[in-house]
A and B are shown apart, each in its own frame.
Chain A
Amino acid sequence: MTDKPQAYSAATEVSQIRERRTWVQIAKIELKKAPYSAWFGLIVIAIYLFVAIFAPLLAPHGEAEIFPASFAPWGGDFVFGTDQIGRDIFSRLIYGARNTIGIALATTLLSFAIGGSLGLIAAISGGWLDQLLSRFVDVLMAIPGLIFALMLLTIFGSSILSLIMIIAVLDSTRVFRLTRSVSVSVVVMDYVEAAKLRGEKLGWIMRREILPNIMPPLIAEFGLRFSFVFLTIAALSFLGLGIQPPTADWGSMVRDNASMIQFAKYDLTAALTPMIPAGAIALLTVAVNFVVDWFLHITSGLNDEH
């Protein structure tokens, strides 16, 4: 028997772990390959976030500061003119970014906290608890969301807190369904069984074993739910039942200035005034959808996603 110096050894190959990429490196690589639509979406979202965070520094006038000139034209001191009681539209647009995005973000986070944890609990425990939660969610989902929200707003009144609570609870039903359906297949994996057998607690299993494995669909869903919540709040505010004045908000700005569209023939800029906040809502949802599309594309490896 001759001793081969270059003998193959599985142990040595396994021990030579290639350096793992940090998530920053992965993000850089993916961003280089990202399509234009995703870049567009990311840049738009970044701009919105910047405006939302630095609103008081960017806005030339106060959020609810009233000037003597109502319905002032574009230009001069007021970039986009003033509204029906003389508030600067441009400043309200900037503050509106903060309020509208902030409230939608808080709502989405809350709905993920409720729906996500209940979904995980239902998937792990199974049995009667799973049945109870799932049937309850079925019943809640049988009522159209906007109608349910309108009904609850009648009872609890329109304050920002009740708006966030109501929409978060209604929206958490969809999060629950998704979380439950993706984690049901993870729960039966051997490593979860092993964790149970070595006596880990429910919270640990949820956090350390299941959550990392269901993250990609949940993140994509977060984007979709955010744009849905954002549109719902905008619609409610537009109907006059969401965010109440004097808080600046895009949905109610459209409602307040809508009549100016009738003057398009005489002064196009006046007619465009209500279109700016509406367009701002539309642009953000388009941007979020583009980014979610791209994210689904890279995480699922699918070429086609409906």
Chain B
Amino acid sequence: MHPILGTIIQRLLLGLVTLFFVSLIIFSSVEFLPGDFTQAILGQAATEDTVAAFRAELGLDKPAYIRYFDWIGAVAQGDLGYSFSGRSASGIDRSRAVVDLVAPRLGNTLFLAGMAAIVSVPLALVLGITAALYRNSFYDRSVNAVTLTTISFPEFFLAYLLILFLASLWPVFPSLANVNSETELIDRIYKCVLPALTLTLVIVAHMMRMTRAAIINLLASPYIEMSQLKGLSKAKVIMRHALPNAWAPIATVIAFNLAYLVVGVVVVEVVFVYPGIGQLMVDAVTTRDIPVVQACALIFATTYILLNLTADIIGIVTNPRLLHPR
């Protein structure tokens, strides 16, 4: 078997194990709830029958490990359970399926994150690589200073700065990104400009600095110096010698920042009242709606793990030392 295949399978298995433990942690959040939480959800007037029925629906009469397998099996089939909200003491159940709550919002979040990623990934790579090549120049220093400052800003500060200048003082873009399923694509893009711009500013700063560091690290290695000393042109040094080894760090940088985007999206969605999954999660945390929180956490964590796994695998597949084993 090719050595790369073995390494990749090993990584995939490791990712699966991580996912298993993460799902275990997310599942066990129900275990830590206080014993009388059913009363808090159903109200003080809940009869014993209603409470018992609700506990049975949650499976609290079964041992924890059976409940875990029931839960993870249902999740695998796309059933994320029912929300805690909409329940009443009289036993009338108006709760909605978590999938119906999550699905449309997940689409919105992916749209916003995608929009930010399409702009920021190429921009950050170009900025980072050029800053590394023209190191310590005025250009490098100014890009560095600007990005160090934007990294230090909280996301909501950047967001409100943009709103102040681009939506309030000069009303070019709307400050509320209230899209729904009927919104036309052009209109949707127009409404998402400010949230996407906020995310872009944050991501570009991180990604550019990491790319620059990775490239500088690479250019300092002996084989690059060797290729320069034997008189190769600058373009050839970069294309033939530096780039094959640079794919792995660059892929890591991109995946890491896309994963960062997943988290950054929460605050930005709340600022712009964007109907995404981040805002859903914040609302669910406020009302302590555990099934929704679990679903959102599972989605965020899975995306995060998958992105990091992809970066790992790209790093392995493009590694010249592994591609040509002795």
Q: Which residues of A contact B (CB under 8 A)?
A: 138-139, 142-148, 150-157, 227, 231, 234-235, 238-241, 251, 254, 258, 261-265, 271, 274-275, 278-279, 281-282, 285-286, 288-289, 293, 304, 306
Is A304 within 8 A of B216, CB to CB? yes
Which B residues form the contact surface with A (CB < 8 A)? 18, 21-22, 25-26, 29, 32-33, 135, 148-149, 151-157, 160-161, 163-164, 168-169, 175, 209-210, 212-213, 216, 259, 262-263, 266-267, 270-271, 281-282, 284-286, 288, 290, 293-294, 296-297, 300-301, 304-305, 308
Taking the closest CB of chain B, its distance from the CB of A3, in whole angstroms, is: 54
B160 contact from A153, A157, A254, Cβ within 8 A: A254
Flag if B154 contacts A275 (CB, 8 Å).
no
Evaluate whether A235 and B216 lie within 8 angstroms (CB atoms) in the complex, with A138-B18, A139-B25, A258-B160 already known.
no
- Report whether B22 and A278 are in contact in the complex, using a CB–CB cutoff of 8 Å: no
* Contact among A147, A231, A279, A288 with B281 in the assembled complex (CB-CB below 8 Å): A147
Assess whether A264 is in contact with B168, with CB atoms less than 8 Å apart. yes
**A144, B163: Cβ atoms closer than 8 Å:** no
Residues in B neighbouring A155, C-beta threshold 8 A: 29, 32-33, 290
Report B-chain residues with C-beta under 8 Å of the C-beta of A152: 29
Residues of B within 8 A of A288 (CB): 152
CB-CB nearest in chain A for B20: A139
13 contacts between A and B (CB under 8 A): A139-B22, A142-B21, A155-B29, A155-B290, A157-B288, A235-B267, A239-B282, A251-B154, A254-B160, A258-B271, A262-B175, A285-B152, A286-B153
Given contact pairs A142-B22, A155-B33, A278-B160, enumerate 13 new A-B contacts (beta carbons under 8 Å): A143-B297, A150-B285, A151-B297, A154-B293, A155-B29, A239-B270, A263-B168, A275-B161, A275-B164, A278-B154, A282-B152, A285-B154, A304-B135
Question: In the complex where A142-B18, A240-B286, A278-B156 touch, is A150 in contact with B149 (Cβ < 8 A)?
Answer: no
- Bound-state Cα–Cα, A153 to B209, Å: 32
The closest CB in chain B to the CB of A287 belongs to B152
Complexed CA–CA distance, A246 and B52 (Å):
38
A142 to B22 alpha-carbon distance, docked (Å)? 8
Chain A residues touching B, majority SS: helix
Q: Closest A residue to B299 by CB, please name it.
A: A147
CB neighbours of A157 from chain B (8 A): 288
Which of A156, A241, A262 meets B168, CB within 8 Å? A262
Chain A residue at minimal CB-CB distance from B32: A155
Instruction: Judge whether B154 and A150 touch: CB under 8 Å.
Output: no
A261 contacts B21, C-beta separation under 8 Å: no
Residues of A within 8 A of B297 (CB): 143, 147-148, 150-151
Q: Which of B149, B168, B271, B284 contacts A265 (CB 8 A)?
A: B168
Whether B301 and A143, one on each chain, are in contact in the complex, defined by CB atoms closer than 8 angstroms, is: yes
- Are B281 and A238 interface neighbours, CB within 8 A? no
**How near does chain B come to A87, taking the closest CB pair, in angstroms?**
20
Are A147 and B301 within 8 A (Cβ)? Answer: yes
Q: Which residues from A are CB-within-8-Å of B271?
A: 258
A262 and B160 CA atoms in complex are apart in Å by: 10
Q: Are A151 and B29 in contact (CB under 8 A)?
A: yes
Q: A241-B286, A258-B160, A278-B156 are in contact. Are A150 and B293 (CB under 8 A)?
A: yes
- Assess whether B160 is in contact with A289, with CB atoms less than 8 Å apart: no
How many Å from the CB of A250 to the closest CB on chain B? 9
A residues near B259, Cβ cutoff 8 Å: 144
A133 to chain B, nearest CB (A): 14
Closest to A143 in B: B301
- The residue on A at minimum CB distance from B135 is A304
On whether the beta carbons of A289 and B164 are closer than 8 Å, the reply is: no
Residue of B nearest to A286 (CB): B152
Known A148-B297, A155-B29, A241-B286; contact A271-B168, beta-carbon cutoff 8 A = yes
Closest to A254 in B: B156
Evaluate contact between B293 and A306: CB separation under 8 angstroms.
Answer: no
A139/B18 in contact, CB under 8 A: yes
Query: Do A285 and B153 touch (CB < 8 A)?
Result: yes
Q: How far is the CA of A69 from the CA of B155 in the complex (A)?
A: 31
In the complex, which residues of chain B have a beta carbon less than 8 angstroms from the beta carbon of A293?
148
Chain A residues whose C-beta falls within 8 Å of the C-beta of B32 in the assembled complex = 155-156
Chain A residues within an 8 Å CB radius of B151: 289
Q: How far is the CB of A42 from chain B (nearest CB, A)?
A: 16
Q: How far is the CA of A207 from the CA of B140 in the complex (A)?
A: 41
Complex: how many Å from CA A234 to CA B161?
A: 17
B18 in contact with A261 (CB, 8 Å): no
Contact A234 B154 (CB under 8 A): yes
Contact indicator B154/A241 (Cβ below 8 Å): no
Q: Which residues of B are found within 8 Å of A143, using beta-carbon distances? A: 22, 25, 297, 300-301, 304
Which of A156, A227, A241 is the one whose CB lies under 8 Å from B152? A227
Give the one of B25, B161, B212, B285 with max A CB within 10 A: B285
Q: How far is the CB of A38 from chain B (nearest CB, A)?
A: 13
CB-CB nearest 10 A-B residue pairs? A306-B213, A264-B168, A285-B152, A278-B157, A286-B152, A139-B21, A147-B300, A144-B263, A282-B153, A143-B301
CB distance A238 to B18 under 8 Å?
A: no
Q: Report which of A154, A265, A306 forms a contact with B288, defined as CB distance below 8 A.
A: A154
